[in-house]
Amino acid sequence: MLIGIATSEGRAPAMFATLGIAFASLTLNILTLLGVGLILSKMAWGMTALRIIGAAYLLWLAYGAFKKAIHPPVFQMVSAPDQPAWKHFLMGYLLQVTNPKAIAFWLAIASIGATDGGGFGVIALFITGAFIISFTCHGAWAIALSASPIRMAYAKARRFIEAGLGMFFAFAAYKVITLDR
């Protein structure tokens, strides 16, 4: 999603999507600290269901990437109609908060007890740090991918990039589904 927004709509829309992604990471972080992740991790069937859903999602991403590699859509630089900033924010938020990989990441953090016994200061630092890391990393991608030379290079190499992403997502789905086997 971020590649698509940054390369077709430009930097500002991509940064609003990045802000949405960071706030969704913050939401998942807080839910994990409140124990939602711990509850899910204690339910074996819940973890199995989450793995299956996550693997299915990754396979769906692989399918989409392979489809774009075989039949790439027409690539137009900054040609999309302007959408309000809140729509890009919402797109980023919804993508991240429903992302099985992000949920699995926070479950893993919960399982090691990242803030156990740390007190309010450690928890506040943990929450703030998670937001800053998410915004910084995704923001760096948004800035890099919206740069004109990168957008032009992406347009030329799109088939190979999409095929590579398809292979990566398919392999990741395999690893998620065969975890602990």
Q: How far is CA 72 from CA 7, 57, 64, 66, 79, in A?
A: 14, 21, 10, 9, 17
**What does pTM read for this prediction?**
0.70
Q: Structure tokens of 2? A: 């971020």
Per the structure, how many domains does the chain have? 1
With bands split at pLDDT 50, 70 and 90, how would you rate the model's confidence at 132?
very high
pLDDT in tens, 34-83: 776 566 556 667 667 777 877 888 888 889 889 988 988 776 655 555 77
What DSSP assignment string belongs to 11-67? HHHHHHHHHHHHHHHHHHHHHHHTTHHHHHHH-HHHHHHHHHHHHHHHHHHHHHHHH
With bands split at pLDDT 50, 70 and 90, how would you rate the model's confidence at 138?
very high
Q: Lowest mean pLDDT: which of 8-17, 33-42, 57-66, 169-178?
A: 33-42
- The span from the CA of 104 to the CA of 94, in Å, is 16
Show the domain range for 136. Answer: 2-177
Residue entry with tokens 């269901």: 49
Residue 129 in this model has a pLDDT that exceeds 70 = yes
pLDDT at 20: 95
Listed residue (6, 18, 17) closest to 149, CA to CA: 6
What's the mean pLDDT in 153-168? 88
pLDDT at 67: 92
Amino acid letter, residue 88 = H
What's the mean pLDDT in 84-109? 82
pLDDT at 171: 92
Please give the mean pLDDT across all residues of the chain: 82
Report the sign of the C-alpha dihedral through residues 4, 6, 10, 13, in that order.
Answer: positive
- The span from the CA of 55 to the CA of 53, in Å, is 6
pLDDT at 166: 92
- The span from the CA of 40 to the CA of 69, in Å, is 37
pLDDT at 66: 93
Number of Cβ within a 10 Å radius of residue 42 = 11
Highest mean pLDDT among 28-32, 88-92, 147-151, 175-179: 88-92
Label residue 106 exposed, middle or buried (CB < 10 Å: 0-12, 13-18, 19+).
buried
What's the mean pLDDT in 23-30? 89
